[in-house]
Every structure is written in structure tokens, then in C-alpha cells.
Amino acid sequence: FVAPARTPRRALTNARARSARPRSRPAVVVASTPRASTPRETRVVVAGRRSSPAIMTTPIVAGFSIAAAALTARQAILAYEAWKRAPPAMRAFYQGGFEPQMTRREAALILGVRESAAKAKVLAAHRKVMIANHPDAGGSDYVATKINEAKGLLL
């Protein structure tokens, strides 16, 4: 066990007396070199001490940081607004290129389901594709025939 070092009572009273004294403000002088063309060459002298260049560049770095944050936020807001205005993405259907004899793979591509899809999914997909391609609504008879053939093959 090591006991903490004690500060003498006299040192404590001197420290309190020094901290209680009113301090005068040091004189601030801007001293520049003959070639004061860059911020590094101009130094602020406070009570005989020179300031470092880091003190002078801190406001510049802070300003650039705030500007970068503002521009990033602006771009995020613009991207969000563009995303909200965009129309909903439409699902692409099978484009065609039919084989002479339809396979289960081609039937699944036409209806947009898996080859092993359940009966209810096949019927729902058939209804959706037929609504989009029905001959009474301006669709092709050939495409409607292929859609019906795909449904028959998967069921």
C-alpha cells in the first residue's frame, strides 16, 4: 500500500491566492513577415508567444466540413424526392422467342412463376398475364394461345 503524496498547506494557500487575483488581458498583436501572402506567414502574438498555424486553419477546416455536410444533405433530399416522383417499376414479362414444342421451363417463363409453383400461383399468374394480353383488349391471339398452353402444361 502506498499513501498518496500530500501537498503542503502553504502551497495550497498560495495556489488559491494566485487563482483569486484578477488577471489582466494580454496584449494581442498581429505580426506578419515581409512576405505575408499566405496564412502561414501571418502569426498572432499573444503576450510574447506566437500562435501555431493550426489555430489559424481551424475555422477554415470547420467551414469546409459544414459546407460538405450541407451539400451531402441537399443531394440526399434531391435523391429522395426523385425516388418519390418515379413511377412504380413494372415487371417485365417474357419477351417471346417461342420454341416449337413448349417445355415446362418456357411455360414458367411465360407466366413468371417457378416450374414447381403451386396450382394457386399458376392460376393467379395466368390471370395477370391474360389481363395484359387478352385479344379483346388489343392483345395478340397467338400470345394468348401460348399463355393458355403454358397454364395447361404447368397444371
Decide if 91 contacts 129 (C-beta within 8 A): no
Domain-embedded: residue 116: yes
Domain-embedded: residue 2: no
More confident call, 42 vs 106: 106
Domain-embedded: residue 3: no
Q: What's the number of domains the chain is made of?
A: 1
More confident call, 1 vs 122: 122
Domain-embedded: residue 25: no
Q: Determine how β-strand 49-50 pairs with β-strand 28-32.
A: unpaired
Identity (one letter) of the amino acid at 30? V
Q: Is 138 left (phi over 0), alpha (psi -120 to 50) or beta?
A: left
In degrees rounded to 5, what are phi and psi of residue 28? -110, 125
Cα distance between residue 68 and residue 72, in whole Å: 6
Q: What is the mean pLDDT of residues 2-21?
A: 55
56-100, pLDDT tens digit by residue?
778 888 999 999 999 999 999 999 999 888 877 766 666 767 888
Domain-embedded: residue 134: yes
Quote the pTM value: 0.42
Of the candidates 63, 36, 53, 61, which has an alpha carbon nearest to the alpha carbon of residue 44?
53
| 24 band by pLDDT with thresholds 50, 70 and 90 | low
The strand ranges marked E within 3-155 are: 28-32, 42-46, 49-50
Domain-embedded: residue 54: no
Range of the domain at 150: 104-154
| 107 band by pLDDT with thresholds 50, 70 and 90 | very high
**Residue 141 gets which letter from DSSP?**
H
Looking at residue 127, which CATH number applies to its domain? 1.10.287.110
